[in-house]
Structure 1
Amino acid sequence: MVKAQVKKQDQPEFKQKILNEKSNIEGQFIFSIYKNTNYFYDYELKIGDFSSFTWAFYYQMIKELVQLKDLTVVDAVSVGAYVDTKGDKFKETYNKYGGYETIRRGMKIVEEGNIESYYMELQRYNVVIKLVDLGLPMEKHWDTYSKLSISDLNEVLEGQIAEAFADTQMGDDKVEDLFLDMDGMLKEADEGEAAGLPLESPLMNETQHGLALGNITMMAANSGVGKTFLTTLLHIQSSIRNQEPVLIIANEEERTRYAQALITAYINTHHKDVRFNKSRFIDGNFTKEEWKYLREAAQHFKDTVNSGLVRFVNMSDFSMAKTIRLVKKYARLYDVKYFILDTLKMDNDTGSRVNDSSWLLMQQNMVKLYNTIKASSLNVHIWVTAQMTKTNRRSRYLDQSMIGMSKNITDVVSSLMLTRLLTASEKSADKGIKVYDSHRHRVILDEDKDYMVVFWDKNRQGDTSWQIVLEVDRGLNLIRDIGITQIDNDLE
């Protein structure tokens, strides 16, 4: 393969060594795409990600061949035809770097099945170069660092930084008078600074008293009941209404599903006679009238949701370490105070077999998460959804035992909400549960409608003795407060 020209600007010897190593990886990555152009759309890179002028040039070529020429097979004829459309300076550079012979030799040598490892190596070298530019002693420890993956390198360096600050953090612990600045404390309480973001359900918010910073709120339900449904309507809508930035970390639903849910809720809230069902996003073929309401809703969110207000990341392979890194990054760099993890799972590398050790790891992960978000650390709030065990589907009263090895998970949770749908018998006017509105008047439930009942097993900011009943329409994406009830702690 041609000897690539690497950017040289009187670089220190170690950095030049790293640039040369990175150049080899760049060539392997690029010619993997030449060999199989389907890979182009799998890996997002910019010209600036390449340190070698040569490979940046060949990357720009394959980018134009794939995007502009829709080329699926790279051969001498198609590349030659492309080069003929270019100017003299381009042709001069192309010939200088070896022309098609470089491409042919590169495709022959490279193993395109290794493109994922080439890509990760390229990312790792980009990080190392940035760290070198920041003055970190990468050369001193390169024998160790050179063997680490990008994620392992992140863990090692983050651990070293944390260790460096450990004694300083311990030195911040102060012994103070218990009643110091009583007036200031009372003023903060009067201004509601401890309450945090309110929930969109007034009845639930009266019980929960907001999503207070430095805490974890967990929402648990059986699969398909509506964890994401409630998260969207109770939390995300409140973030938008209160202009409070939030980062959604998802591992089950795609970004479009959340957007579609919010659009559906907007249409049916502002046009009660329309009854736009979110299943229409699956069916398609919108009517002229539907397009009218969809465009109105889309424009509303364009006008009210500024860039960065609601961020979203889809975590294809869940790990608590990646979750914590995201929380730290967006809390520190963008001052985000509210986070959503939808849904809590075992780390992907734990394996499919669930045993005592995997539950122990999950407990440790939750402790790590709490230590990250607590008041003495980042002081942010995270809303976590969790799935209840299938063995408790017929339980009338919900508590933390419904999550399985619950003690391993919920110790650090400040508020644990569990929810289920009301059964037909519970909606009966004669023998059903008794629900009372805010004036303590009995509410008769409609047996043809759906209702959810929300239990609090833990609530450090309020009561746990009453349950909240919500009227829900999961097709129209609507919820409405109905009242409070008390369900006996027994089984059907």
Structure 2
Amino acid sequence: MKEITDYDKRLVENREVLEASFIFCLWKNPELFDDYNDFNPSTELMLNDSRFYYSLGKDMSSLNYKSLDHASIYGHLKDNEETRNKFNSLGGYQTVDKMCKIISTENVESYYDTLTKSNMLLDLNDKGFNVINELERFKKMTSSQLYDYYEYQLDDIFLNRGSNVEIEDLEITDEFIDRCNSGEERGLSYSSTAPLMNYHTMGLHKANVQIFAGFSGTGKSSYVVSSYVMPILDEGENITIIANEMNIDAWRHLFLATVLSQKLGYYGLTRKKQKTGSYTPEQLAKIKEAQQYINENYKGRLKFVKIYDYSIDDVRRIIRKMSKRGFGYFIYDTFKSENAASDKVTGELIEASKTLLQVAEKEEVCIIITMQLAIYMENTRYLTASTLSNAKGVKEVVSELILMRKLWDDEFTGKKYDVKPWRYMKDPITGKINGSKEFLTLDENKRYRIMFLDKTRNDEDDICVISKFDGQWNQWKEIGYCNPMHQNRV
């Protein structure tokens, strides 16, 4: 950022107040430093005094000071003459006390947003945009509104020039036939991990959004890592995980367990043991081997983004940004309404799914979103879109809808609601499927999941696939098809 004197005075008007209001909110409640731990004073503050106060407050906060009062400040500075002299030259505690009395920590988000907007305007000015002419309009906007304003202006310019609109005859061209014949209409294959579901969905398709949904605790994220993330990486593609619930370490444990079992064939380290530590030499050696495998095969191609709300605008911006960096596949975990208490939740989720489809089509990427199934539907045997929590209408937007639940005790082989699992048999000579069915016996000591393909645009839907699941090593194996009853559990 340039010096304050390098800018038109109208652009840096009240800059001292903007920076001081935000910084002294943090001083007034030092716990707020943790909420803004990604704040970079060297790029977001222009004034040296502001940087001084921020750094001093940050240092004391990191030492667990709960109140930056007169005694604690001078106690902290007693052995640092240079910093103490600087603090006194700025008015000492009297300056701090005066500022803290006139600001409210309840407005910290507003102060931060105003500061962010000011920095955005300076950056736009540096890049040649004439922001002075619209400055009065911008003063009434939030930083998000400013972003949307410029995005709209650019989209409007290019749309009017025809850059994003093509009108063509819908005809069957030779080029289209050649693409179909070469297999380009197939999506990225994940048959290595889920051959049956891959067959019916014809892979993972770009310019599309698909939903993988399940009840809480059924292993949605585990399935996503094993059945989607791994094949995408193995095909040499790049993928970004956007998460608003599980943190990065939880995903690391899933990823590590999957690599250990799938790639190294090692089953001596469960996910639980990963977290408890005290590894044996063998276990530590295998972790290092997995680390090396990941670095050699996947380094730089798997990104993780943690967001702290359910803002679809943030998700859209992340996808647009990462798509420009060569990332063609995205996992969004978990898709929910920004305001679950709103009486317009259903409509908001449908609109949000439309937004994701638009960005998928525009950026030519594949977006897989996980969703929670409605708790009150947990006794439903045969899952359909009606079990989606507050969002049945999103089925009309997405290309694939897969729903998952646990196999219940009364559905095992020989039980009252036996799901009668089966698979097609192969001709012993040709190796091709001959249409005959082989019925399977389920082991009551194992855990199983049923996947319901409720919608696909690439094959027939209403297909049920049963998989064996071992959560200790994140192992998933499709064993065949099944036929769950439509009668609900009482």
TM-score w.r.t. structure 2 length?
0.85
1:156 aligns with 2:149: yes
Amino acid at match of 1:365: A
Q: Please tell me whether the aligned partners of residues 210 and 369 of structure 2 are also in contact (alpha carbons under 8 angstroms).
A: yes
1:341 aligns with 2:332: yes
**Distance (Å, rounded) in 2 between the aligned partners of 1:66 and 1:367:** 43
Q: Please tell me whether the aligned partners of residues 194 and 213 of structure 1 are also in contact (alpha carbons under 8 angstroms).
A: no
**How far is the alpha carbon of 1:288 from its aligned partner?**
4.4
Q: 1:82 to 1:242 in 2, by over 3 A?
A: farther
**How far is the alpha carbon of 1:54 from its aligned partner?**
2.5
**Distance (Å, rounded) in 2 between the aligned partners of 1:239 and 1:251:** 22
Q: Mean alpha-carbon deviation: is it higher for 258-267 or for 279-288?
A: 279-288
Please point out which of 310, 317, 320 is paired with 2:309. 317
Runs of 5+ unmatched residues, structure 2: 427-436
**How far is the alpha carbon of 1:382 from its aligned partner?**
0.7
Residues 242-257 of structure 1 aligned to structure 2 (within 5 Å): 242-257=235-250
**Distance (Å, rounded) in 1 between the aligned partners of 2:291 and 2:39:** 30
Secondary structure of 1:274's partner? coil
Q: Deviations over 1:70-102 (max 9, x none)?
A: 76646463464354267xxx96x7676556665
Equivalent pairs: percent with the same residue? 23
CA RMSD of aligned residues (A): 3.1
**How far is the alpha carbon of 1:478 from its aligned partner?**
0.7
Amino acid at match of 2:388: I
Secondary structure of 2:206's partner? coil
**Distance (Å, rounded) in 1 between the aligned partners of 2:167 and 2:231:** 36
- The aligned residue for residue 234 of structure 1 is 227
**How far is the alpha carbon of 1:303 from its aligned partner?**
3.2
**Distance (Å, rounded) in 2 between the aligned partners of 1:131 and 1:196:** 39
- The aligned residue for residue 58 of structure 1 is 53
**How far is the alpha carbon of 1:370 from its aligned partner?**
1.5
- The aligned residue for residue 125 of structure 2 is 132
Residues 290-305 of structure 1 aligned to structure 2 (within 5 Å): 290-305=283-298
1:260 aligns with 2:253: yes
Q: Please tell me whether the aligned partners of residues 7 and 51 of structure 1 are also in contact (alpha carbons under 8 angstroms).
A: yes
Q: Deviations over 1:275-334 (max 9, x none)?
A: 433223454444444333333333332333323x22222222212222222222222x31
**How far is the alpha carbon of 1:364 from its aligned partner?**
2.1
**Distance (Å, rounded) in 2 between the aligned partners of 1:27 and 1:446:** 66
Q: Please tell me whether the aligned partners of residues 421 and 466 of structure 2 are also in contact (alpha carbons under 8 angstroms).
A: no
**Distance (Å, rounded) in 2 between the aligned partners of 1:134 and 1:257:** 40
**Distance (Å, rounded) in 2 between the aligned partners of 1:373 and 1:395:** 32
- The aligned residue for residue 41 of structure 1 is 34
**Distance (Å, rounded) in 2 between the aligned partners of 1:283 and 1:94:** 46
- The aligned residue for residue 3 of structure 2 is 7
Q: Mean alpha-carbon deviation: is it higher for 250-259 or for 30-39?
A: 30-39
1:167 aligns with 2:160: yes
Amino acid at match of 1:386: M
1:204 aligns with 2:193: no
**Distance (Å, rounded) in 1 between the aligned partners of 2:405 and 2:465:** 11
**Distance (Å, rounded) in 2 between the aligned partners of 1:304 and 1:251:** 27
**How far is the alpha carbon of 1:414 from its aligned partner?**
0.7
Amino acid at match of 1:45: F
Q: 1:210 to 1:438 in 2, by over 3 A?
A: farther
Amino acid at match of 2:246: E
Runs of 5+ unmatched residues, structure 1: 1-5
**How far is the alpha carbon of 1:257 from its aligned partner?**
0.9
- The aligned residue for residue 141 of structure 1 is 134
**How far is the alpha carbon of 1:8 from its aligned partner?**
3.9
Q: 1:80 to 1:239 in 2, by over 3 A?
A: same
**Distance (Å, rounded) in 2 between the aligned partners of 1:298 and 1:447:** 35
Q: Deviations over 1:25-61 (max 9, x none)?
A: 2122223334443333331222122111322233344
**Distance (Å, rounded) in 2 between the aligned partners of 1:253 and 1:471:** 24
**Distance (Å, rounded) in 2 between the aligned partners of 1:429 and 1:271:** 37
**How far is the alpha carbon of 1:220 from its aligned partner?**
1.7
- The aligned residue for residue 422 of structure 1 is 407
Secondary structure of 1:253's partner? coil
**Distance (Å, rounded) in 2 between the aligned partners of 1:403 and 1:188:** 36
- The aligned residue for residue 3 of structure 1 is none
Q: 1:287 to 1:85 in 2, by over 3 A?
A: farther
Q: Please tell me whether the aligned partners of residues 435 and 469 of structure 1 are also in contact (alpha carbons under 8 angstroms).
A: no
1:369 aligns with 2:362: no
- The aligned residue for residue 195 of structure 1 is 186
Amino acid at match of 2:472: G
Q: Across the two proteins, how many residue pairs are aligned to each other?
A: 469
**Distance (Å, rounded) in 1 between the aligned partners of 2:148 and 2:91:** 41
Secondary structure of 1:299's partner? helix
- The aligned residue for residue 378 of structure 1 is 363
1:456 aligns with 2:453: yes
Q: Please tell me whether the aligned partners of residues 425 and 432 of structure 1 are also in contact (alpha carbons under 8 angstroms).
A: no
Please point out which of 308, 321, 328 is paired with 1:329. 321
**Distance (Å, rounded) in 1 between the aligned partners of 2:365 and 2:189:** 14
Amino acid at match of 1:402: T
Q: 1:77 to 1:232 in 2, by over 3 A?
A: same
**Distance (Å, rounded) in 2 between the aligned partners of 1:241 and 1:210:** 14
Q: 1:314 to 1:273 in 2, by over 3 A?
A: closer
**Distance (Å, rounded) in 2 between the aligned partners of 1:488 and 1:104:** 70
Amino acid at match of 1:320: I
Residues 171-182 of structure 1 aligned to structure 2 (within 5 Å): 172-176=165-169, 178-180=171-173, 182=174
**Distance (Å, rounded) in 2 between the aligned partners of 1:213 and 1:171:** 18
Please point out which of 24, 27, 33 is paired with 2:20. 27
Amino acid at match of 1:421: K
